Structure 1
Amino acid sequence: MATPWEKVKNPSQGDSSSIGSYANGCLAGGERLPLQGDGYQVIRSERGRYYGNSEMIVFLQQLMKQSRQLKIGNVLVGDIAMPRGGRFSSGHASHQTGLDADIWLRIPEQPLSPQALKTISALPMVDVKNYKIIDKNWSSKQAQLIQLAASDDRVARIFVHPVIKQQLCKAKWKDRNWLSKVRPWFGHYYHFHVRLNCPAGSTTCETQAPPPAGDGCGTELASWSPNYKAPVTSESVKAVKPKPKPVKVLPPMCAIVLKS
């Protein structure tokens, strides 16, 4: 069943404001990403998920322009947020405040025709079953695009499949500081998920703790492998009672955004 947020087709009036947290919030004054621009195209536009905080829209346009200048290719932008952000009935837990965006790792050399945009399918970078990269699909342009995005100060995190993170860790980079932002997360085997920091001066947006120090290419990454065996310690053998998940309550301002 559709959520109330999925039924709204237009953003609210006023300046952009991300309210609440990435996975429990909404978006006031959402801005629309043009469906085609310098170095990119929006895919699956019929879903109406190409709205974001103004900071995200500017970031994406600048990233794609840089990508074109570096001859990476024509980048395909997936879901950002719905017109007023908020909860999805399925598909995303986050993407609620206009500060998350999915970017496909299939990168055509030229812009796609309208018909091709409707029929193009995702291109997997990972053989999930065998936990390894698909060499014929992965290239330096995918790595370069992720590196370009992660190096931007506005970016808080980038989520990729652990095997893609592994592939990035193997490469020889002059600067590896950006790798700390690239976080392993299952499911992201054909796209990467960019998450921006709360915009400067924002009082309604809940920020996230920064990623752990280091490039994240050691034990933490290895622990995602299906073959990983964690060392046995006195703490790990203790029975841990799972904590009940708290019920998420949307910030009160979101009710105003939804009804305005």
Structure 2
Amino acid sequence: MALYDDPLWPRAGRWPAPTGHADVVLVGVPTWRTSITPGSAHLTPAAVREALQRYSLETDLVVADAGDLVDPDASPAQAAEAIAALDASLVIAVGGDNAATVPVALGRRADTLVTVDAHHDLRDGVSNGSPVRQLLEAGIPGERMAQLGIEPLANSDAYRVRAAEAGIAVVTRDELTRVPLADAMSRALHRVGGSRVHVDLDVDACDRSVAPACPASLPGGFSALELRHAARAAGAHPSVVSIDLTEVDASLDAPDGRTVRLVALCVLEAIRGFETR
């Protein structure tokens, strides 16, 4: 169905390809081949771009869209090089599954990691369940990592111990029923320090009712508004150089597209946050 065209209501998402430096660059990182739960997460960036046009964003920032990386699962190193070539103060990457976190963080030369996720992502091997472990091995110290929203019942004791031994600051979902997620994000960014921070917003940290397109979303997760506020807080922090939104399989979304639309809104919230820097 064609969207109504109103010249007084400019649609978001109609951003040009990068030409020189941009304040914010959007890029699709359609990882999916190594997912623990097979699916079609590679369809999500295109779906998010379509959803962006349902919203309006008027800004004086230079915002560009670099399109999608080609098969980033085939060579994460080449994907990281493509990310590194983006000339932007903030890169917003849309996955794809959580494997996208690794090339984005490495490409942006991140020295710090903050995640909003129900899972530790410290598994062995290479999959969407291992990006935090891979980034530890790549040189980001555990003391410069924070994980917000961890659900103990969705993780094993072995990975809980692994996180503790690495020195990762962990805040559980239950603890965040008493502290707003946006406040926890701001505190984590202050606590872990670092001059180049990557923020991983794993959408399956949200409640299953608002994120049905996330295979691992749980009942009792964050609300859509909480994730949006976290995206804005991340975008506002001067040390955040990249944000990813991952673990959404557009082919599994509800008929109303609620998960994909949430991702689109988080992109816009991050841009709004950047405006306040």
TM-score, normalised by the number of residues in structure 2: 0.27
- Structure of larger gyration radius: 1
TM-score, normalised by the number of residues in structure 1: 0.29
